[in-house]
A and B are shown apart, each in its own frame.
Chain A
Amino acid sequence: MEKIINLTLKVWRQNGSKAKGRFETYKVNNVSTDSSFLEMMDMLNEQLVSEDKVPVAFDHDCREGICGTCSLYINGRPHGPDDDVTTCQLHMRKFTDGQTITIEPWRSTAFPVIYDLMVDRRAFDKIISAGGYVSVNTGGVPDANAIPIAKADADESMDSASCIGCGACVAACKNGSAMLFVSAKVSQLAMLPQGRIEASRRAKAMVAKMDELGFGNCTNTGACEVECPKNISLSNIARLNREFLYAKFQD
């Protein structure tokens, strides 16, 4: 049932990448528990505009859990207190009347803060750029049904491909490792015959780029899997390690 709640927000404000950040406290009243978390943030911003203050900047776009843009660290958890959801899918029914909510950006060396709650995640694009693809050009490819693929493999590949590139795994990891993200792409492609051919080369190139960009090492804490909104499994990391070792072995 819909309820109306009042909240206190402690929000990270930072006027640009070089500025020093700080927490600001705001009150937001009359929030419907049927609203989404970001709609509550809209209410806060509407209030700030009415006071002629600069609204809080945060990343968001699709608001349905698929684009991977939204990225808030809410009460100490990437994407907040609900399981298997992104920030934009989080609803206010997960909060209680009178609660104080702390809202921060992702915090990780490889994702510098740009402004308020926005961070720079271009490092992920650079990792994909280093090898996260099948090297085919447009045109001149075989018929789509020329290579049958076992349903189980296609389904498993699809599960790995569900990663939305949000970066919650990195934000959750005390080492700031991007292993879950990288392994999801490596696994998706390694499981399909089309991607199999370059599998080792791809694993090596992507891991090298990840290291170069300042992501930390994976020490198997598993925090990434817990916070991943798309249930990307740790088994992907095991597969990446296998591909990586195989690549080393070949050198």
Chain B
Amino acid sequence: MSKINARTPEGPLAQKWTNYKDHQKLVNPSNKRKLDVIIIGTGLAGASAAASLGEMGFNVKNFCIQDSPRRAHSIAAQGGINAAKNYPNDGDSVFRLFYDTIKGGDYRSREANVHRLAEVSNSIIDQCVAQGVPFAREYGGLLDNRSFGGAQVSRTFYAKGQTGQQLLLGAYQALMRQVNLGTVTMYTRTELVEIVLVDGKARGIISRDLVTGELQRHFGHAVVLATGGYGNTFFLSTNAMGSNGSALIKAYQKGAMFANPCMAQIHPTCIPVHGESQSKLTLMSESLRNDGRIWVPKKKEDAEAIRSGKLKATQIAEENRDYYLERRYPAFGNLVPRDVASRAAKERCDAGFGVGATGLAVYLDFKSSIDRLGQKTIEDRYGNLFQMYEKIVDENPYETPMMIYPAMHYTMGGIWVDYELQTTIPGLFAAGEANFSDHGANRLGASALMQGLADGYFVLPYTLQNYLADEIHTKRMTTNEPEFVDAEKAVKERFAQLMGIKGKRSVDSLHKELGLVMWDFVGMGRNKKGLEDAIKKIAAIKKEFWTNVRIPGDQSGMNVELEKASRLADFIEIGDLMARDALNREESCGGHFREEYQTPEGEALRQDDKFAYVSCWEYKGEQQEPELHKEELIYETVKMVQRNYK
């Protein structure tokens, strides 16, 4: 067997997790205090893990780059979180949630992990309610649910359009309670800049204090990366400005495998780009597709008139509108999964039917829902999203349809982990969006929040403990060991090298250049030639960066440009990996659409006989090509079929 072993427990699918928990090793209370756990990140995954492990009695150090753990990117999630509660009595079950997630992921995820996710989903809702998360309720006082793409049941719990905020505040408050009790030490405005291995095991990190510029060494018996996704490789994305992939690249360069880097999700409903100075893209929650209908003009001349400002959306008669999702996918209509909806929008716009000044937009129209349910109901459901839209675009979406276009949103790929969420480096774990584990080639809406909290509240507390049980004899190391000293020295040299370039190009200008290459060649439609070109272009950007970037100021003290430069250097590495992986995967599946592989109707065409595996990339050194390893995906319960949302 190769270096890749998922270590999935024995037994029937539905019993694996129970069996695991029944047999995992435990650590007694007095030993827990002697074990240090470093957790990087305070998003849903990091905060829930830090709080839970602190409660259990481990000695936790928790890091984030923001000024407060409450500001992690998870705070921005809008629409909701899935669980298999079946409160609406519409036929949901753990198995169905499992099945929908596998199917939504286009059969490229690991059955055992996904089943565990569905199993623990219900406990997440219980936990959050106990913490005081104010989920939406019905008049009878019970919890309300809404539908999301890729499912025919209503299983999404929500708190207005601010679900991520409320879930994160719940986890943050649990975390701050542990800080108060002294089990967790919080390091804010502190960035992980290197992972330290001792005898092949993860034993600590080097961090940089973003205010003083000082480098610090931290020891841990285990290290958890919960640093989120790498969507900002595209420069423009729905991610927060500080979201980055650097911790993943550090892990990768130390020997952890990077899994499915090309699996990225382009979200169909974002506010279109307004111009050159655009710094990020704003998501309009997918939940809007519950009540909004997507359309473009049926006639090209109408689309042209709209683009030149001669015609308004509201002037197009009903019979001249093409509700293309309802037309192409009558069974799921506007609620098809994200990858399908995004490609359909691109198809219409490429064919000349796009609206907005640029022609890169489609309408999301609430008129029929407002007529049916009244403005008040729509306002209750989406009030804050409508307000957000109006502030940005300066148009009232209660009166004129919203304009939306796909944008880079989420990365299914990430650091490879086994069933225990452990990477190929012993003692190094990855959780939340940072790992690759549960979403295969496409993530269903409202499933990232579920996964982040599942990993942090209900998986790591067991699996990390199982690892730490064998570490009780490992004494706390001083950070004067040569491994720490050398790691810090290497970091110092890297920063000095960056500062020493003293070129002409700003970090942002290079990042925008990278983003365009990614969007054009590694975005919604990919092909062999484009990907080969992209790899060359990314190499050229890398060279330009390392010879011509300009970082004013110096290394000591606060230096925002230096932070950005260091992250961009890592985004360039990720961009290269994404393109390579996309080139290797000669099939279309989920968010990965290779134009050469499609059905006559333009749907994704998988090649199960050749690509039913997770691609795991191993770092071989600077200037060397990474080596591909494969984790074969064996489906024991679900039969692989072509996804059908018609």
Contacts and interface: CB of A to CB of B under 8 A. Distances in A.
A165 B70 contact: yes
Interface size class of B (residues with CB under 8 A): 35 or more
Contact of B240 (A57, A62, A122): A62
Interface string B158-182: 0110101110010011101101100
Contacts of A84: 387
A121 interface: yes
B238 to A, nearest CB: 9
Interface string A41-52: 011001011101
Interface stretch (B125-133, B193-201, B314-322, B632-640): B125-133
Nearest to A32: B275
A57 B558 contact: yes
A154 B142 contact: no
B388 interface: yes
Interface in A1-59: 16, 31-32, 34-36, 38-40, 42-43, 46, 48-50, 52-55, 57, 59
A101 interface: no
Contacts of B68: 68, 121-122, 124-125, 165
Nearest to A1: B394
B412 to A, nearest CB: 21
B280 interface: yes
A154 B134 contact: yes
A158 B160 contact: yes
Interface in A109-129: 114-115, 118, 120-122, 124-125, 128-129
A66 B279 contact: no
B392 A89 contact: yes
Interface string A135-173: 111110111110111110011011001101100000000
A63 interface: yes
A188 interface: yes
A159 B137 CA distance: 14
A136 B129 CA distance: 11
Contacts of A174: none
A189 interface: yes
A216 interface: no
A63 B66 CA distance: 14
Interface stretch (B12-20, B257-265, B368-376, B549-557): B549-557
Contact of A36 (B126, B130, B279, B552): B279
Given A142-B126, A144-B125, A148-B140, A161 B180 contact: no
Given A69-B67, A151-B139, A125 B134 contact: no
A71 to B, nearest CB: 9
B394 A134 contact: no
B391 interface: yes
B165 A66 contact: yes
A54 B127 contact: no
A130 interface: yes
Interface string B233-262: 000000011100000000000000000000
B137 A43 contact: no
A66 B391 contact: no
Contacts of B394: 34, 91, 93
A176 interface: no
A40 B278 CA distance: 10
B76 A55 contact: no
A66 B162 contact: yes
A52 B176 contact: no
A103 interface: no
B609 to A, nearest CB: 43
A188 B278 contact: no
Given A148-B141, A162-B162, A132 B173 contact: yes
A211 interface: no
A63 B160 CA distance: 19
A74 interface: no
A49 B177 CA distance: 42
Nearest to B507: A49
Contact of A35 (B126, B159, B172, B275): B275
A139 B127 contact: yes
A232 interface: no
A114 B137 CA distance: 42
Contacts of A68: 68, 70-71, 75
B127 A141 contact: yes
B527 interface: no
B282 interface: yes
Contacts of A91: 391-392, 394
A65 interface: yes
Chain A interface mostly helix, strand, loop or mixed?
Answer: loop
Contact of B506 (A50, A130, A134, A143): A50
A120 B557 CA distance: 15
Contacts of B127: 136, 138-139, 141
A89 B76 contact: no
Contact of B132 (A49, A62, A120, A195): A195
A31 B553 CA distance: 26
Contact of B130 (A34, A53, A136): A136
Given A138-B461, A151-B139, A61 B274 contact: no
Contacts of B134: 154-155, 157-158, 161, 188, 192
Contacts of B282: 63-64
A224 interface: no
Contacts of A43: 277
A72 interface: no
A66 B552 contact: no
A50 to B, nearest CB: 7
B126 A144 contact: yes
A132 B176 contact: yes
A243 B75 CA distance: 28
A247 to B, nearest CB: 18
Given A49-B552, A66-B162, A91-B391, A125 B143 contact: no
Given A63-B280, A132-B173, A165-B68, A138 B52 contact: yes
Interface in B510-554: 550, 552-553
A136 B131 contact: yes
B561 A138 contact: no
Best-surrounded residue of A93, A144, A195 (most CB of chain B within 10 A): A144
Contacts of A42: 277, 279, 508
A119 B634 CA distance: 52
Contacts of B130: 134, 136, 141-142, 194
Contacts of B55: 137-138
A59 B67 contact: yes
A66 B76 CA distance: 6
A239 interface: no
Contacts of B461: 138
A67 interface: yes
A115 B558 contact: yes
The 5 closest A-B pairs by CB, nearest first: A148-B141, A133-B173, A141-B130, A158-B134, A129-B176
Given A35-B275, A138-B52, A164-B165, 8 more contacts: A46-B509, A49-B550, A85-B391, A93-B394, A125-B179, A132-B176, A136-B130, A194-B132
25 contacts: A46-B509, A49-B506, A52-B552, A59-B67, A63-B282, A66-B164, A67-B71, A68-B71, A91-B391, A91-B394, A118-B67, A122-B188, A125-B176, A129-B177, A130-B180, A133-B131, A134-B131, A136-B127, A138-B461, A144-B85, A145-B143, A148-B142, A149-B137, A150-B137, A158-B166
